[in-house]
Structure 1
Amino acid sequence: MPDSSTTRPPRKISSIEAAALSVGFMGPVMAMALNGIGVADLVGTKVPFTFLVAAIGVVVVAYAFFRLTGKYAHSGSVYALTGVTIGPRAGFFSGFALLGTYLFFVTCIFGACGVFFNAFLATLGLDSSLPWPLLLLIIGALVWAIGSREAPLVTRILLLIGGFGLALMVALTVVVLVTVGAGNGSYPGAEHSGLDLGPLLPHGASGSAVMTASVFAFISWAGFESCTSLAEETRNPKRAIPIALMGSVILCGVIYVLVMYAQTIGFGATDAGAKAFAASESSLIDIALQYTNPFFAQLLAFSAFAVAFGSALSSTSAGARLLFALARDGFGPKILAKTRADQRTPRHCVTAVVVIALLLSLILLVVRAGPFETYYWYATIAVLCLLVAYAMTSLGALSAILRRTTDIPRWEMIFPVVALIYLGYVYFVQAWGQEAPYSYFPWIAGLWCAVGLGMALLRPDMARSIGDELIQSDD
């Protein structure tokens, strides 16, 4: 057997395959089935317009990643991007915040897999469901088995899962648009409404309600940066990764707005339709049952489970590669920084991420929380850590522009400035005025980030080699 090595794996992945990791992490079918419901409760029929506003916000936030990944290629994502632009300590702090995001996201997506698997069984008319502890272990084992393989295999599986789910959503969107456009809507208020463009326009929308609701829409793009973790395994990364990153953000943005428009007019572009939308438990499945047939709804329900599983696989892959980058610079047990020449993937880190996610899930079993609570509780903590990581990257881009360490024009500083304002607003909405247990989550996320800050300040040696580890050549 080959000796253990920390040599970086060969670059074999295309920009499309890298984008599959980001799209897989975001889980479009899962997002469209759940994330519009709370938005409809806040803005009524203006759900599509709200997602359009959120899409603009995400593009602004993604701009810093887009620009910096065109200059630096590193599997550490924000760890490297912040470290090279602000400094090693800031890099370690942002990387630690993003590591928390990935660990909590893997855990929450395990819960989503449980929710959608049991929902799929329900569409088959089966009243029984697998016990959550057993289902959790099965999902964890499958994620580990696939995630431990080489990155090209993982990304191709994600392409298959994501492509199937997107195809079903596009087909459903077309059916709803044609049906409602012909005046044959299935819900009260949608029968004779036609293709009302009002939900896409700002007229009549409450600015404060739209901005607040855009926070919940923003979650649909969480993890868009995960493809940056494949930079060291991608062909021509300084070109491929920016294309993959911004391409996945824009692609999902267009699809999200269209699908939310179809759902809004499908339920009916009226107050009654908005209430029906907000009262749904899985809006995409409900729309499919009304406008197609049970078989298509079953396919969509299975796709939602598959996409959730793909999201778990994506977040595990991204988390493992970030953990590997941190371990390579001295964080954690040395075994996490080792790969085998015949594996070409940080398998020890994949194992660590899956085990930690299973342990976090088991903690909630003690308080008798099921997959639904596992999803929403850990998702909230993950997003709060993610906002910190995104903000640090925006600060890094701003620093690079002001200090002229890159050739980015000074006028482009408007993008990271606006991104910081938007991210601050999103964090405020997530943290302020929540009820228990959600009122505890900002403290948990804050504690995680504080631990990272403490390590960065007290153990600067753990991040000292970040500059040496950055790949600054185009080979």
Structure 2
Amino acid sequence: MSSTEVIESGDDGLSQSPPGVKRTGQGLVGHLGTADLVLAALAFAGPLAGTAGYITIIIAAGNGIGAPGTFIAVMAVLLLFSVGYGAMTRSVPNPGAFYAYITAGLGRRMGLGSSFLILASYVAIGVGFYGFAGLAVQGFVVSHGGPDIPWWVFSLMFWVLVGTLAYFRVDVSAKVLGILLVCEVVVVVAFDIAVFSQGGATGISFEPFTPAAFTSGHLGIALVFGVALFTGFEATAIYREETRNPNKTIPRATKITVLLIGIFYTITSWALITGLGTSNALDRATEDPAGAFFAVATQFGGPLLSDAANLLLVTSILAAHLAIQNVTTRYTWSLAVDGILPATLGKAHPRFQSPHRASMTVSFTFLILTGFLVVVGLTAEEIYAWFAGAAAFTIMVAMTLTSLAAVFYFRKNPEPGLSKWKSSIAPSIAFAALAVMVVLGIINFPSLIGGSQLLANIMLLSSLLIFVIGVVTAEILRRKNPNVYQRIGRQ
């Protein structure tokens, strides 16, 4: 089939629907390979945005100079997670990633509840990033002599550009993401080399890798934000319908993505701590979390590196925004094709084979929610910290459920030739480790959003309520619309 042909309902390469179940929507078309998937997932991680924004938060509010150890621990857990996850991508050839796999392993009620929670999480990440985008661009413009206009004006500009790019087929976005990603990685690698080659502020120390450093401070906050910088690697499965040879490409791309993100942030967080001075890093990051990275870049790389980093921070946020938009859109698409959301959102563009209606719906959802938060008086900093932090926590919950789902799925559906390591041992260890991280996240949740226990309780209960609404919706469908119920998770 050519790339310009539309795949009609039932011709998307998936197993046929259960008897009496009418398929909805048209299939998506794309030609993504391993490199495309890795680039899309890495763009979601936003290497430069993560370095300038998240790493300083991990140092200042998390476990201090233990940040490099945090990335090593999270990378190890997610590599274990990717073993069962990769096996699920082969055995459950359905789009929807976490949603599809939780449904396959834990049932349709848990699956739909999880899908509501995950979709809400990605919407929250998107809203949070609009706060971050407006703040970052405003700072860049003002620092270069431009007008000091409200941050949300710059966020609106981002919204127009991201919405336009996301309207077209995903491989168009992948090309944009790839170019921006390479540029920002080059800048961060130059930063690392500049710091280490000059010995940092007080010499190169291996103290950040000690157990004492790792367990210091608020480890739960460090782990939540550490996981946040890996968020988006599930994009490797989200794009299943738009991928060449997905059974091989997706597992390979997932492992590569986790390794690259983990190694990148481990080295870069160590470089930042070294540049700040190991003994002074915590105090300096706490005093100026937004400017710490740029101060070190100027000190060791000069104005040229700092200016390049400032400019590419804006494009890094754009790339991350585009990745967030694409993933959120494909969750919306999957729920529409399954009949949970209006069927019109599950139709592909006749020319671009993109989920254009779902994408436009996501765009306007971001616009309305961000606009509401601006009207009620939240600052850009509050929007970013509250929503991005809470979303990272709930995505971690979804990963935990996915690991558990893999264990149950392969217990019910044993596959000849699939090792115990892939079907049971690795996902069980990943589940246990992720569950511990979730508990630590709950304990530290008030600190994660500014110290308010009341606000923490409200946000945690809201997440639980969203999950319960999904479970209840599934039960209502089971009783009143069993055809749609059977479609949950594209089962």
TM above 0.5, yes or no, is: yes
Distance 1:305 1:4 in 2: 37
Q: For 2:459, which of 441, 451, 457 is the aligned residue?
A: 441
- SS at structure 2 position matched to 1:129: coil
Where in structure 2 are the equivalents of 1:380-395 lying within 5 Å? Answer: 380-395=389-404
Match of 1:246 in 2: 255
Matched, 1:227 2:227: no
2:436 corresponds in structure 1 to: 422
- Please give the per-residue CA displacement for 1:308-342, whole angstroms capped at 9, x wherever unaligned: 11111111111111111111111122210111331
RMSD after superposition: 2.4
1:453 and 2:456 aligned: no
The runs of at least 4 consecutive aligned structure 1 residues that moved more than 6 Å come to: 1-4
Write the distance in 1 (CA, Å) between the matches of 2:105 and 2:383: 36
Counterpart among 411, 416, 419 of residue 425 in structure 2? 411
Conservation of the 8 A alpha-carbon contact between 1:394 and 1:416: yes
Q: Which residue of 1 aligns with 2:184?
A: 165
The range that moved more, 103-112 or 345-354, is: 103-112
Tell me what 1:103 maps to.
123
Counterparts in 2 of 1:438 and 1:129: CA distance versus 1, 3 Å: farther
Pairwise CA distance, 1:145: 0.4
**Structure 2 equivalent of residue 137 of structure 1:** 156
Matched, 1:263 2:278: no
Counterpart Cα distance in 1 of 2:323 and 2:42: 9
Select between 334-343 and 47-56 the one with higher mean Cα deviation. 47-56
Distance in 2 between the 1:133 and 1:101 partners? 21
Instruction: State the partner residue of 2:106.
Output: 86
**SS in structure 2 at match of 1:224:** coil
**Distance in 2 (alpha carbons) for counterparts of 1:416 and 1:235:** 28
1-structure distance, mates of 2:427, 2:357: 39
Amino acid at match of 2:56: I
* Cα distance, 1:4–1:408 mapped onto 2, change above 3 Å: closer
Matching residue's letter, 1:58 = L
* Counterpart selection for 1:277 from 274, 285, 290: 285
Q: Is the 8 A contact 1:89 1:463 kept in 2?
A: no
Question: Which of 50, 57, 67 is 2:87 aligned to?
Answer: 67
- Closer/same/farther in 2, CA of residues 252 and 297 from structure 1, 3 Å limit: same
Residue ranges of structure 2 left out of the alignment (5+ in a row):
9-24
Query: Does the CA-based 8 Å contact 1:93-1:449 persist in structure 2?
Result: yes
**Corresponding residue for 1:27?**
46
In 2, the alpha carbon distance for the partners of 1:99 and 1:235 equals: 25
Which residues in structure 2 correspond to 1:3-82 (within 5 Å)?
6-41=25-60, 42-82=62-102
**Please, what TM-score do these two structures have when normalized by structure 2?**
0.86
Give, in angstroms, the shift of residue 432 of structure 1.
Answer: 5.6
Distance (whole Å) between structure 1 residues aligned to residue 368 and residue 57 of structure 2: 29
Task: Summarize the Cα distance change of 1:419–1:44 in structure 2 as closer, same or farther, 3 Å threshold.
Answer: closer
Q: CA deviation at 1:71?
A: 2.5
Name the SS of the counterpart of 1:79 in structure 2.
helix
CA distance in 2, matches of 1:445, 1:287: 38
**3-state SS of the aligned residue for 1:256?**
helix
Does the alignment pair 1:355 with 2:377? no
CA distance in 2, matches of 1:307, 1:430: 29
Question: How far 1:104 moved relative to its partner?
Answer: 1.2
Residues 1:121 and 1:438: Cα distance change in structure 2 (over 3 Å): farther
1:204 to 1:26, Cα distance in 2 relative to 1, 3 A: closer
Task: Name the SS of the counterpart of 1:440 in structure 2.
Answer: helix
Q: 1:384 to 1:48 in 2, by over 3 A?
A: closer
Q: TM-score, normalised by structure 1?
A: 0.89
Distance of 1:211 and 1:359 partners within structure 2? 32
* Residue aligning to 1:465: 487
Gaps of 5+ in 1: 471-475
Larger deviation, residues 448-457 vs 413-422: 413-422
- Give 1:452 shift: 1.4
Query: Cα distance 1:204–1:353, how it changes in 2: closer, same or farther (>3 A)?
Result: closer
Aligned-pair CA distance for 1:228: 1.4
Q: Following the alignment from structure 2 to structure 1, what is the Cα–Cα distance between the partners of residues 255 and 5?
A: 38
**3-state SS, counterpart of residue 465 of structure 1:** helix
Change in CA separation of 1:44 and 1:317 when aligned onto 2, cut-off 3 Å: closer
Q: Which of 348, 351, 354 is the aligned partner of 1:345? A: 354
Equivalent pair of 1:65/1:225 in contact (CA under 8 Å): no
Amino acid of the structure 2 residue aligned with 1:429: I
Contact 1:384/1:445 (<8 A) preserved: no
CA distance in 1, matches of 2:446, 2:381: 23
Whole-Å separation in 2 of the counterparts to 1:241 and 1:418: 24
**1:153 is matched with which residue?**
172
Q: Is the 8 A contact 2:63 2:216 kept in 1?
A: no
**Residues 334, 301 of structure 1: alpha-carbon distance in 2 compared, 3 angstrom cutoff:** same
Change (3 A) 1:264 1:364: same
Contact 1:280/1:286 (CA < 8 Å) preserved in 2?
no
How far the C-alpha of 1:255 sits from its partner, in A, is 0.5
Q: Cα 1:125–1:60, aligned 2, differ >3 Å: closer, same or farther?
A: farther
d(CA) in 1 for partners of 2:111, 2:212: 43
Distance 1:242 1:21 in 2: 15
Q: Find the aligned partners of 2:103 and 2:63 in 1 and give their Cα distance.
A: 40
Contact 1:148/1:346 (8 A) holds in 2: yes
